[in-house]
């Protein structure tokens, strides 16, 4: 399915307008934008290949989707460590089933077969996974997986351990220079080739020039009002790549996680699916289990099915949430296996060993993104993308739980290798400029952002119709055209512009896909699911 370029205010705004001779700039062989699993792996791999790497990250290593990951990382390990009878073929089968026919099967086989090698790399970098009583790696089960194949760390703090180990490895590496607090504004292109990025740090605009650039900026959950994602997940990389002319794909597929803690005014803390994997069950306001009525895998059905089951129960009851009952798992087990969740719930006076948890779905993971191959190469020369910002075809219409850390790890490593091979000192670059007018001083960025996120939740959320999507597009166009059109001078304004762009991309692709599939539910569903893999948006 082809979705034509967004018209009007969405037209790619190339960042020309930058006279390098008068500005500070840095040079490296390889530029990596993003400090999560994908960016760290790309940087380490490129530096191990002897390249000089510059890594930019707007947030701290503790503030990324990677660091917040709970459940774990899915992989079929070498035969002596894997669960008996588990195979890569079974992992492939589960991934294809979750992706509802829209995965790229060649990519799925290729990436999942690389799982054991990639996990071994992670362990070599010092990442420690939990072990069972016999000292073997402990494997958990999550929704949609036919076997226990999820490695986890410190119970439910897998991402924190991965981020710690990789951040330390990056810090130790003499070939990598990390610039924290660096906000990448736009990719720099010359003659259609990406030659680096413009970034902002401490009130200064700086060009980072490189022979190869790896985009690893993560997801865009913050575009929706209800989300599990940290504040950095504003879709900057997706918007930047689109503006620079890269094709993006499958952007209508935002995965809504079924269970986030629902306390008015509180952060939407993820309640990991692994809790259901260990036996916790969803209940409605009559105290009855409802998932067996929606799917044979009941509480462990694929996420889109569980999310729709919850929405249906919420609609029937009129309450804003359903319940997750883990009380039968016992205090000792819950404290040991889910320490992060137990501690976070305690702040609200909730004890999962005694109380049912109020839960509700939230925007969680973006299955679509910048179109890449299985090595992370985008449609733009000089640019690779890896991790949540990218769309390799692994996830199709719905990601299988815990496949994303694995994808970020594998494609991050591969993109690092490819960028190292292609990188090298940037050639002579001449960039000329049109400087846009500054944004009006009286624009209340936070107020407009709240409106954007509410609109995305209401009209481009879990359930969609053509009418609502078209209304959403009109509002987003209006805001982009009249209020957020001009140049901002700070990250908050640039993030707002990026969120408007991502919102418009998602709404446009969702309008074009008229049939329900995977995470994309059209209550006015019409026609058949387009069997072609990608819904492409070409700028
Ligand atoms: P991130 O880890 O999000 O890193 C993005 C980096 O880019 C950050 O350093 C950020 O500061 C930087 N950045 C962004 N924009 C800019 C910019 N403009 N300029 C400079 N830097 C920028 N997946 C699993 O497989 N298993 C799980 O158990 C799991 N649990 C999850 C739990 C939660 C609460 C969440 C939110 C996600 C979870 N996921 C899980 C999904 C998974 O964590 C992410 O998909 C994955 O970590 C993404 O990694 P990444 O490297 O692509 O991006
Ligand atoms: C979870 O722990 O439920 C999240 C896992 C994931 O998003 O893959």
Give the tens place of pLDDT for each residue, 299-328.
988 888 899 999 999 999 999 999 999 999
Task: State the ligand closest to the CA atom of 275.
Answer: 2
pLDDT tens-digit readout, 214-250: 999 999 999 999 999 999 999 999 999 998 889 999 9
Integer Cα distance of 517 and 526 in angstroms: 11
Measured in Å, residue 314 CA sits from the centre of ligand 1 at: 29
pLDDT score, position 84: 81
What is the model's pLDDT at position 432?
Answer: 44
Q: Which of 42, 65, 213, 338 has the most ligand 1 atoms within 8 A of CB, as the residue to mutate?
A: 65
- From ligand 2's centre to the CA of 70, what distance in Å? 6
- 370 forms beta bridges with 248, 390
Ligand 1 atom closest to 65 (CA): 3
Answer whether CATH 3.90.700.10 is correct for domain 256-362.
yes
Please give the average per-residue pLDDT across 381-390, as a whole number.
Answer: 97
pLDDT value at position 538? 56
The closest-lying atom of ligand 1 relative to the alpha carbon of residue 183 is 19
Ligand 1 atom at shortest distance from the alpha carbon of 240: 18
Higher-confidence residue: 205 or 87? Answer: 87
Q: What is the pLDDT of residues 176-191, one digit of tens each?
A: 999 999 999 989 888 8
Pairwise CA distance, residues 68 & 156, whole Å: 10
* Mean pLDDT value across the chain: 89
Work out the average pLDDT over 5-15: 46
The phi, psi pair for 62, rounded to 5°, reads -80, -10
Query: What mean pLDDT comes out for the span 128-144?
Result: 91
The shares of helix, strand and coil residues in the chain, as percent rounded to the nearest 5, are 35, 20, 45
* Distance in angstroms (rounded) separating the CA atoms of residues 268 and 221: 12
Instruction: Characterize the bridge pairing of strands 193-201 and 183-190.
Output: antiparallel
Residue 109 has a pLDDT of 98
Q: Which two tokens stand for residue 325?
A: 């009952």
Cα(306)–Cα(480) distance, rounded to whole angstroms? 35
Q: What is the dihedral of CA 285, 287, 292, 293, to 10 degrees?
A: -50
The better pLDDT of the pair 258, 442 is held by: 258
Query: Atom 8 of ligand 2 has which residue's CA nearest to it?
Result: 402
Give the model confidence (pLDDT) of 467-484 as tens digits: 999 999 999 999 988 777
Q: Which of 273, 344, 364 to mutate to test the pocket of ligand 2 (most atoms within 8 A of CB)?
A: 273
Structure tokens of 510? Answer: 């969702």
Phi, psi (degrees; rounded to nearest 5) at 25: -150, 155
Percent of the chain with pLDDT over 70: 90
Can you tell me the distance from the alpha carbon of 354 to that of 326, in angstroms, rounded to the nearest whole number? 8
What is the reported pLDDT for 25? 79
* Weakest-pLDDT range from 25-39, 103-117, 195-209, 444-458: 195-209
Atom of ligand 2 nearest to the CA of 405: 8
Q: Where are the beta strands (DSSP E) in 40-83?
A: 53-57, 73-74
3-state secondary structure of 271: coil
Distance CA 257, CA 513 (A): 21
Residue 519 has which token pair? 């995470």
- Output the ligand 1 site: residues, CB below 6 A: 33-39, 56-59, 64-66, 68-73, 158-159, 182-184, 216-219, 228-229, 232-233, 236-237, 270, 365, 387-389, 402-405, 408
Tell me how far apart the terminal alpha carbons of the chain are, to the nearest angstrom: 15
51 is catalytic: no
CA neighbor of 215 nearest in space, from 423, 63, 36: 36
Measured in Å, residue 404 CA sits from the centre of ligand 2 at: 9
Rounded distance, CA 219 to CA 31, Å?
19
Tell me phi and psi for residue 245, to 5 degrees.
110, 10
Write out pLDDT tens, residues 90-100.
999 999 999 99
Mutate to test the pocket of ligand 2, among 401, 403, 408 (most ligand atoms within 8 A of CB): 401
Task: Return the best residue to mutate from 402, 406, 409 for the ligand 2 pocket (most ligand atoms within 8 A of CB).
Answer: 402
Q: Hey, is 150 helix, strand or coil?
A: strand
Closest ligand 1 atom to Cα of 491: 18
Residue 40 CA: nearest ligand 1 atom is 51
Specify whether the CB–CB gap between 525 and 267 falls below 8 A: no
> What is the band of 16 on the pLDDT scale with cuts at 50, 70, 90?
very low
CB atoms within 10 A of CB 231: 12
Class of domain 441-536: mainly alpha
Whether the pLDDT of residue 82 is over 90: the answer is no
Query: For a pLDDT cut of 90, what percent of the chain falls above it?
Result: 73
The residue ranges of DSSP E strands in 202-350, in sequence order, are 204-209, 212-215, 248-249, 254-261, 281-283, 322-325
318, containing H or E segment: none
**CB proximity list for 324: less than 8 A, separation 6 or greater:** 259, 271, 275, 276, 280, 281, 282, 283, 356, 357, 359
Note the residue count of the chain: 539
pLDDT in tens, 260-276: 999 887 778 999 988 99
Distances (CA, A) of 186 to 6, 15, 123, 390, 402: 18, 6, 34, 17, 30
> pLDDT grade, residue 428 (50/70/90)?
low
For the chain, give every domain's residue range.
256-362, 441-536
Provide the pLDDT for residue 480: 86
What digits encode the pLDDT tens for the residues 490-514?
899 899 999 999 999 999 999 999 9
For residue 37, the CA-to-ligand 1 centroid distance in Å is: 7
The closest ligand to the CA of 33 turns out to be: 1
Q: Is the per-residue pLDDT at 252 higher than 60?
A: yes
Residue among 160, 164, 303, 399 flagged as catalytic: 303
Read off the pLDDT band of 153 (50, 70, 90): very high
pLDDT of residue 345: 94
**What pLDDT is recorded for position 447?**
92
Residue nearest to atom 26 of ligand 1 (CA): 402
SS (H, E, C) 416-432: HHHHHHHCCCCCCCCCC
Residue 14 has pLDDT above 70, yes or no: no
**Closest ligand to 232 CA?**
1
Structure-token match 């990218």, residue found: 390
State the pLDDT at residue 7.
Answer: 45
- pLDDT for residue 394 is more than 80: yes
């Amino acid at each position: 399915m082809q979705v034509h370029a967004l018209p009007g205010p969405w037209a790619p705004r190339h960042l020309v307008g930058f006279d390098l001779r008068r500005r500070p700039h840095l040079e490296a062989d390889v530029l990596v934008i993003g400090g999560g699993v994908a960016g760290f792996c790309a940087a380490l791999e490129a530096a191990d290949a002897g390249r000089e790497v510059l890594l930019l990250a707007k947030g701290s290593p503790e503030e990324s989707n990677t660091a917040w990951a709970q459940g774990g990382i899915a992989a079929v390990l070498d035969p002596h460590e894997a669960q008996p009878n588990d195979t890569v073929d079974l992992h492939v089968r589960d991934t294809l089933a979750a992706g509802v026919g829209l995965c790229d099967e060649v990519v799925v086989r290729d990436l999942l077969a690389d799982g054991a090698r990639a996990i071994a790399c992670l362990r070599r970098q010092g990442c420690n996974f939990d072990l069972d009583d016999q000292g073997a790696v402990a494997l958990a089960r999550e929704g949609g997986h036919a076997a226990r194949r999820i490695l986890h760390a410190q119970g439910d703090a897998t991402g924190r351990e991965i981020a710690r180990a990789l951040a330390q490895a990056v810090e130790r590496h003499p070939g990598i220079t990390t610039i924290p607090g660096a906000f990448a504004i736009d990719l720099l292109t010359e003659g259609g080739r990406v030659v680096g990025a413009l970034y902002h740090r401490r009130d200064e605009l700086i060009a980072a020039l490189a022979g190869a650039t790896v985009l690893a900026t993560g997801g865009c959950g913050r575009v929706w009002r209800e989300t599990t994602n940290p504040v950095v997940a504003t879709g900057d990389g997706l918007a930047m790549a689109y503006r620079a002319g890269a094709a993006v794909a499958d952007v209508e597929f935002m995965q809504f996680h079924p269970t986030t803690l629902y306390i008015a005014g509180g952060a939407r803390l993820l309640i990991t699916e692994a809790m259901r994997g260990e036996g916790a069950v969803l209940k409605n306001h009559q105290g009855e289990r409802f998932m067996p009525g929606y799917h044979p895998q009941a509480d462990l059905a694929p996420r889109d099915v569980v999310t729709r089951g919850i929405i249906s129960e919420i609609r029937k009851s009129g309450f804003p949430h359903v319940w997750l009952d883990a009380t039968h798992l016992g205090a000792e087990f819950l404290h040991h296996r889910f320490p992060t969740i137990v501690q976070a719930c305690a702040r609200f006076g909730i004890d999962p060993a005694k109380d049912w948890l109020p839960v509700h779905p939230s925007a969680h993971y973006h299955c679509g993104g910048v179109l890449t191959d299985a090595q992370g190469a985008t449609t733009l020369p000089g640019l690779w993308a890896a991790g949540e910002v990218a769309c390799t075809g692994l996830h199709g219409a719905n990601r299988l739980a815990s496949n994303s850390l694995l994808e970020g790890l594998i494609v991050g490593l591969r993109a690092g290798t490819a960028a190292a091979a292609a990188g090298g000192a940037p050639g002579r670059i001449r960039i000329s400029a049109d400087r846009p007018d500054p944004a009006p001083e009286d624009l209340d960025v936070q107020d407009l952002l709240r409106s954007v996120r509410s609109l995305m939740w209401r009209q481009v959320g879990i359930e969609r119709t053509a009418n609502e999507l078209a209304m959403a597009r009109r509002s987003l166009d209006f805001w982009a055209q009249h209020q957020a059109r001009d140049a901002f001078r700070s990250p908050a304004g640039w993030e707002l512009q990026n969120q408007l762009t991502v919102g418009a991309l998602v709404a446009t692709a969702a309008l074009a896909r008229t049939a329900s599939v995977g995470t994309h539910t059209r209550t006015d569903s019409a026609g058949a699911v387009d069997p072609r893999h990608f819904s492409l948006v070409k700028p």
